[in-house]
């Protein structure tokens, strides 16, 4: 049984058919990446998994449990966290307050332990703990968005374009941190514009085109596929 599995998922924006029979899965301990051009449906896929958009048909399961009809807060409670495109931090709230929002469904002393785990991953956030999130750099805000998602203790982390707008040196740092998160036991479903780097850390990948999965394979095979190279890797 896959940790997360989508079967024949169809999602609409009004009359627009955004996801067309999308099927994919993420196993325990994997990093899986979604690759596609702008408008292909990558963000919609993540939003549908996390309950922010509703699948009109098809199934989404987490450890075999159907979640496609659940509200977002229940999906978070079951173990799916979403670090959205554009970071979406609470600009007027402090770093610590943003992290507290990630743990809003949790109570108890172990929440403080997770603050320390996040600060170990992102020492910069510890330095900025009481600073307003909106005054930080883009890279720092991206760290905060990921840290906030981790505060929910997810089984699987949905990451949407974590490198967008960042300097190359920060992109490398973010990808190193994604690998570290995965090595600590959290599966990752990664949407990323830098397809080369995404395939470099992923175990498997899927190609999305106009809302459809057109190819799914091991990441190494996708990286060496001539059509994928030409379309997405600039080779």
How confident is the model at residue 235, as a pLDDT?
A: 52
Q: Which domain does 14 fall in, by range? A: 4-79+154-232
Of 5, 11, 9, 106, the closest CA to residue 65 belongs to 5
Please report whether residue 115 resides in a domain. Answer: yes
CA separation (Å) from 39 to 23, 35, 46, 51, 193?
A: 18, 11, 13, 19, 12
How confident is the model at residue 194, as a pLDDT?
A: 87
Please report whether residue 29 resides in a domain. Answer: yes
Helix ranges restricted to H, 55-206: 72-78, 95-102, 110-121, 123-127, 138-150, 168-183, 195-201
Please report whether residue 182 resides in a domain. Answer: yes
- Boundary of a domain, candidates 153, 182, 198: 153
Pairing of strands 55-62, 4-13: antiparallel
Name the stretches of the chain with pLDDT < 50. Answer: none
- Is 113 in the same domain as 198? no
- Is 182 in the same domain as 70? yes
- Is 22 in the same domain as 106? no
- Is 158 in the same domain as 55? yes
- Is 75 in the same domain as 145? no
Q: ∠ CA 102-83-33 to the nearest 5 degrees? A: 140
What is the b/e burial string over 147-184, where b = at least 16 CB atoms within 10 angstroms of the residue's CB? bbbbbbbbbbbbbbbbbbebeeebbebbbebbeebbee
The model's pTM is: 0.91
CATH number of the structural domain spanning residue 58: 3.40.50.300
- Is 225 in the same domain as 165? yes
Decide if 55 contacts 68 (C-beta within 8 A): yes
- Is 21 in the same domain as 108? no
Strands (E), the chain: 4-13, 16-26, 31-35, 55-62, 65-66, 80-83, 156-160, 187-191, 204-209, 212-218
190: β partners: 33, 159
Please report whether residue 52 resides in a domain. Answer: yes
Tally the domains of the chain.
2
- Is 54 in the same domain as 33? yes
């Amino acid at each position: 049984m896959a940790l997360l599995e989508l079967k024949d998922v169809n999602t609409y924006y009004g009359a627009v058919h955004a996801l067309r029979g999308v099927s994919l899965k993420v196993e325990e301990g994997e990093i899986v990446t979604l690759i596609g051009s702008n408008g292909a449906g990558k963000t919609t896929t993540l939003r549908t998994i996390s309950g922010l958009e509703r699948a009109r048909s098809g199934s989404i399961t987490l450890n075999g449990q159907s979640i496609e009809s659940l509200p977002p807060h229940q999906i978070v409670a079951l173990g799916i966290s979403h670090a959205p495109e554009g970071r979406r931090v609470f600009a007027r709230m402090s770093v610590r307050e943003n992290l507290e929002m990630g743990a809003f469904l949790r109570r108890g002393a172990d929440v403080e332990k997770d603050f320390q785990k996040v600060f170990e991953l992102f020492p910069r956030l510890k330095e900025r703990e009481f600073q307003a999130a909106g005054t930080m750099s883009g890279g720092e805000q991206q760290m905060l968005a990921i840290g906030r998602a981790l505060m929910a203790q997810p089984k699987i982390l949905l990451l949407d374009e974590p490198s967008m707008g960042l300097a190359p040196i920060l992109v490398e740092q973010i990808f190193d941190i994604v690998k570290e998160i995965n090595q600590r036991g959290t599966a990752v479903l990664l949407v990323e514009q830098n397809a080369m780097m995404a395939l470099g850390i992923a175990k498997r990948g899927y190609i999305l085109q106009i809302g459809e999965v057109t190819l799914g394979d091991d990441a190494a095979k996708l990286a060496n596929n001539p059509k994928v190279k030409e379309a997405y890797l600039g080779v």
